[in-house]
C-alpha cells in the first residue's frame, strides 16, 4: 500500500537517482546517456508514488500543499530533463535536482501539511501549471543571479552569454506563469489584471529582465550595469514571491493565502 | 536630446495631473476610445510610412525608446507597489504632494497614463517596422510585441467600458439592483434569484467548497469559486462571498457581475504572448545576436 507513511522510501530513492544523474551530467562534456537514464528512473519512482497515492486517496492528489509539492518535484525533474536533452546545459540537472529535493525534504520534515486544507480559491486547474511554471522560472533566474554575483567580482564574457541563456529561458517561463495567472484571475476574480501588490511586483520583476534582454541587444552599457540589473531583478522577484507578505502597502492583497481573511 | 523630450513630456503630464486630478476614465468610454485608438494608430502608421527619416519617427521606433519606456514603466509600477492603492473616494481624501501626483491611485494618474502611452506608441511603431523589415525570429518578435500591445491596449482603453458590480442576494428575494465599487447603484436588465446555497467543510472546519444555485434572467446556473457563469458576450457572473458565520444556513450570498466587452481582445493578446514565450524558450538568445546591427 502506497501512502505518506512510506514516502521516505520513494523520496530517498528518487533523490538518489537524480543526484547520480546530475553528477553524470556535470562530468560529461556531451549529453550523457547515464544522466538521462538515472533522471528518468528518479522521475518514474516519484511517478509511481503519485499514482499509488492517487489510488490510495481515491482522488487526484492535488488538494493539499504537501500534495502539490509532490507535483513540483515531479515536474521539476521532467523540466530539467527536457532542458538537458534539448540544450545540453550540464548544470541544469544539478539545479533541478536541488529544487526537487527541497520540496521532497519539506514534505518529509513537515508531515502535518498533508492534512491542511486547500481554500476554494486555489482549487482550480490553473493552480498547478501556474505555480510550477513560476517555480521553474524562479529556479532558472536564481541561477542567473548566482552568475551575476560571480561576474560582478570577476567578469568573463562567457558569464554574460550563460546569463543570456538563463534569462531567456527564465523570462519565457516567467511570462507563461504570469499569463496563465492572468487567465486564472479572470476566472476567479473577474479581471485579468488588477494591480494587486503581488501582480505589481511580478510585472516589475518581468520588466527588469526585459530591460536586460533589450540592453544586451541594443544597449551600450558595461557588464557591471548588466550584472547589477540582474541582481536587482532577482531582488524584485524575492519581493514578489514572499516579500509582499510583509509589505505594509500590501496588507489588502488578494494573493495572501497564508492567513484567513 | 531624447531624455530632454521625455522629461518635458512627463513634466507636462505631471502639470495636468496637478491641475486636473486623475485621468477621467469614464470620459473615454465607448465609442470615444475606439475613435481615439483608430486616429492614434493611423497617425503612427502615417508617420512610419511617410516620414520615416524624421527625428520624431526615429525617436518613436528606436530601441533606446523601448528601453527608456520599460524603465519608466518599472518606476511607475514601483509607485503602485510601494504606495497603498486606494479607491477613488479614499484617494481623494489624502492630502500632500504624493496625493496630488496621484500616487494613491496611480493607475489612473496622468503620469502613469503618459508612460503607458509612450510605451504603446513605441510598441506599435516597432511592430510596424518588424512586420516590414524583420528577417530573423520574425514571428516570435511579432507575437510577443503585438500581443503585449493588444493586451495593454485592451486593458487600458477597455477599462473605461469595464464594470464590476456586486449584488447581495437574499434567499427568496429576487433582485436586480447592483452596486459598483464606489457604492453607486445600477439596475441590471435581468433579475437574479438565489435558489439554494451550500458549503462543504474540511475536517478542520475551514470551508473546502461553496456553491450557489441561482437564476439569472431565464438561465439556471451553478456558481462556484473559479467557476463563473457566462451570462452573455463579455458579461460574467461570479460567486464572491457568503455569510461565513452562518455557513450552510447563510441567508445570502454576494454575486459579482463583470461586464468587460474588451476581454476577447485581451485574451487574443495573452494567447499571442503565450505562443511568443514558448518560442522564446525554444529558440533562445542565439538567433538574436546578429540583430545588433539592425
- B252 vs A: CB within 8 A: no
What domain range is A180 assigned to?
119-255
Residue B258's pLDDT band, with cuts at 50, 70 and 90, is very high
- Average pLDDT, integer, range B53-72: 94
Considering only A44-48, A64-68, A146-150, B31-35, which range has the smallest mean pLDDT?
A64-68
Q: Are residues A191 and A208 in the same domain?
A: yes
The answer to whether residue A261 scores a pLDDT higher than 50 is: no
Shared domain for A159 and A69, answered yes or no, is no
Q: Is residue A58 part of a domain?
A: yes
Instruction: Compute how many other C-beta atoms are within 10 angstroms of the C-beta atom of residue B152.
Output: 18
B282 vs B82: CA distance, rounded Å: 35
Q: Residue A76 — very low, low, confident or very high, per pLDDT cuts 50/70/90?
A: confident
Task: Work out the minimum CA distance from B15 to partner chain A, whole angstroms.
Answer: 25
Confidence label for A58 from pLDDT (cuts 50, 70 and 90): confident
Computed over every residue of chain A, the mean pLDDT equals 86
Q: Look at residue A63 in the predicted model and tell me its pLDDT.
A: 66
Which range among A85-94, B77-86, B116-125 shows the weakest confidence by mean pLDDT? Answer: A85-94
Out of A76, A95, A116, a domain closes at A116
Q: How near does any CA of chain B get to the CA of A65, in Å? A: 14
List chain A residues with CB under 8 Å of B254.
none
Answer whether B276 touches A (CB < 8 Å): yes
| Test mutation, A89, A140, A172, chain B, max B CBs within 10 A | A172
Lowest mean pLDDT among A135-144, B222-231, B234-243: A135-144
pLDDT digits (tens, 9 = 90+) for A172-217: 999 999 999 999 999 999 999 999 999 999 999 999 999 999 999 9
| pLDDT, average across residues A212-237 | 94
Q: Which one, of B230, B197, B201, B203, lies nearest residue B216 by Cα?
A: B230
Q: Which of A188, A195, A218 sits opposite B80 (nearest CB)?
A: A195
Top-ranked range on mean pLDDT: pick from A99-103, A110-114, B14-18: B14-18
What is the predicted pLDDT for the residue at A260? 38
A130 part of a folded domain: yes
- A198 in a structural domain: yes
Q: Would you give the distance in Å from CA B2 to the centre of its chain?
A: 28
Interface contacts (A, B; CB < 8 Å): 138
pLDDT digits (tens, 9 = 90+) for B174-213: 999 999 888 899 999 999 999 999 998 887 788 888 899 9
**Residue A260, in any domain of the structure:** no
Which residues in chain B have Cβ-Cβ distances shorter than 8 Å to A87? 284
Statement to judge: residues A50 and A172 lie in one domain: no
- Spatial CB neighbours of A196, under 8 Å, sequence gap ≥ 6: A253, A254, A255
Return the residue of A nearest to B284 by Cα. Answer: A168
* Cβ within 8 Å, pair A192-B285: no
ipTM over 0.90: yes
Q: Are residues A149 and A251 in the same domain?
A: yes
Tell me: do A71 and A85 sit in the same domain: yes
* A-contacting residues in B 7-46 (Cβ below 8 Å): none
> What is the model's pLDDT at position A65?
66
A243, A125: one domain? yes
Phi, psi of B183 (to 5 degrees): 85, 5
- A39 shares its domain with A81: yes
In a domain, A163, yes or no: yes
Instruction: Count up the domains in chain A and report the number.
Output: 2
Residues of B in contact with A117 (CB under 8 A): 202, 204, 206, 208
Among A81, A116, A151, give the residue marking a domain's end. Answer: A116
Quick one: A212 and A129 in the same domain?
A: yes
> Does one domain contain both A123 and A251?
yes
Give the per-residue pLDDT at B291.
Answer: 46
Indicate whether A99 and A19 sit together in one domain: yes
Beta strand pairing call for B185-201 and B229-232: unpaired
Cα A210 from Cα B269, distance rounded (Å): 18
Q: Are residues A233 and A144 in the same domain?
A: yes
Give the span between the Cα atoms of A248 and B83, in whole angstroms.
9
Cα B123 to Cα B120: distance, rounded to the nearest angstrom: 5
User: Cβ of B85 and A217 within 8 Å?
Assistant: no
Least CB–CB distance from A190: residue in B73, B164, B270: B164
In this structure, are A14 and A66 located in the same domain?
A: yes
Q: Can you give the pTM of this predicted structure?
A: 0.85
Domain boundaries, chain B: 2-161+264-293, 163-259
Minimum Cα–Cα distance from B209: chain A residue: A120
> Measured between alpha carbons, how far is A121 from B254 in angstroms, rounded to an integer?
15
Phi and psi angles of residue A126, each rounded to the nearest 5 degrees, phi first: -80, -20
Amino acid at each position: 500500500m502506497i501512502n505518506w507513511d512510506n514516502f521516505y522510501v520513494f523520496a530517498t530513492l528518487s533523490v538518489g537517482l537524480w543526484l547520480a544523474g546530475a553528477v553524470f551530467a556535470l562530468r560529461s562534456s556531451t549529453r550523457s546517456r547515464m544522466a538521462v537514464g538515472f533522471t528518468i528512473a528518479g522521475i518514474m519512482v516519484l511517478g509511481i508514488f503519485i499514482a499509488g497515492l492517487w489510488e490510495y486517496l481515491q482522488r487526484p492528489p492535488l488538494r493539499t500543499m504537501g500534495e502539490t509539492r509532490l507535483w513540483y518535484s515531479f515536474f521539476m525533474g521532467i523540466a530539467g530533463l527536457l532542458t538537458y536533452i534539448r540544450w545540453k546545459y550540464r548544470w541544469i540537472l544539478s539545479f533541478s535536482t536541488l529544487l526537487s529535493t527541497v520540496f521532497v525534504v519539506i514534505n518529509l520534515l513537515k508531515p502535518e501539511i498533508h492534512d491542511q486544507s486547500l481554500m476554494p480559491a486555489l482549487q482550480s486547474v490553473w493552480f498547478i501549471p501556474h505555480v510550477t511554471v513560476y517555480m521553474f522560472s524562479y529556479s532558472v533566474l536564481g541561477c542567473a543571479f548566482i552568475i551575476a554575483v560571480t561576474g560582478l567580482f570577476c567578469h568573463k564574457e562567457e558569464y554574460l552569454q550563460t546569463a543570456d541563456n538563463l534569462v531567456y529561458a527564465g523570462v519565457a517561463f516567467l511570462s507563461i506563469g504570469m499569463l496563465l495567472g492572468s487567465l486564472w484571475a479572470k476566472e476567479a476574480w473577474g479581471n485579468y489584471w488588477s494591480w494587486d501588490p503581488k501582480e505589481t511586483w511580478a510585472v516589475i520583476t518581468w520588466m527588469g529582465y526585459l530591460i536586460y534582454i533589450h540592453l544586451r541587444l541594443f544597449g551600450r552599457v558595461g557588464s557591471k550595469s548588466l550584472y547589477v540589473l540582474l541582481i536587482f531583478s532577482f531582488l524584485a522577484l524575492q519581493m514578489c514571491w514572499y516579500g509582499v507578505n510583509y509589505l505594509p502597502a500590501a496588507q489588502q492583497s488578494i494573493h495572501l493565502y497564508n492567513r484567513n481573511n | 536630446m531624447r531624455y530632454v523630450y521625455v522629461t518635458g513630456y512627463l513634466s507636462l503630464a505631471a502639470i495636468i495631473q496637478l491641475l486636473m486630478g486623475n485621468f477621467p476614465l469614464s470620459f473615454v468610454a465607448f465609442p470615444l476610445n475606439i475613435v481615439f485608438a483608430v486616429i492614434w494608430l493611423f497617425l503612427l502608421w502615417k508617420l512610419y510610412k511617410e516620414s520615416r527619416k524624421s527625428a520624431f519617427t526615429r525617436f518613436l521606433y528606436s530601441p533606446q525608446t523601448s528601453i527608456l519606456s520599460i524603465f519608466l514603466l518599472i518606476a511607475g509600477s514601483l509607485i503602485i507597489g510601494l504606495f497603498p492603492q486606494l479607491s477613488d473616494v479614499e484617494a481623494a481624501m489624502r492630502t500632500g504632494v504624493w496625493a496630488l501626483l496621484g500616487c494613491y491611485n496611480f493607475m489612473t494618474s496622468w503620469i502613469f497614463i503618459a508612460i503607458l502611452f509612450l510605451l504603446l506608441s513605441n510598441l506599435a511603431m516597432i511592430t510596424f517596422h518588424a512586420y516590414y523589415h524583420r528577417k530573423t525570429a520574425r514571428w516570435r518578435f511579432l507575437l510577443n510585441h503585438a500581443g503585449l500591445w493588444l493586451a495593454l491596449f485592451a486593458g487600458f482603453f477597455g477599462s473605461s467600458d469595464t464594470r464590476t458590480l456586486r449584488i447581495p442576494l437574499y434567499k427568496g428575494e429576487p433582485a436586480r439592483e447592483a452596486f459598483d465599487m464606489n457604492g453607486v447603484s445600477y439596475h441590471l436588465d435581468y433579475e437574479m434569484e438565489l435558489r439554494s446555497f451550500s458549503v462543504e467543510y474540511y475536517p478542520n472546519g475551514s470551508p473546502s467548497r461553496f456553491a450557489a444555485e441561482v437564476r439569472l434572467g431565464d438561465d439556471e446556473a451553478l456558481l462556484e469559486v473559479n467557476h463563473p457563469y457566462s451570462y452573455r458576450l463579455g458579461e460574467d457572473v461570479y460567486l464572491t462571498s457568503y455569510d461565513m458565520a452562518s455557513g450552510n444556513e447563510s441567508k445570502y450570498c454576494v454575486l459579482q457581475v463583470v461586464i468587460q466587452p474588451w476581454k476577447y481582445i485581451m485574451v487574443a493578446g495573452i494567447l499571442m504572448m503565450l505562443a511568443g514565450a514558448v518560442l522564446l524558450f525554444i529558440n533562445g538568445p542565439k538567433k538574436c545576436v546578429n540583430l545588433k546591427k539592425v
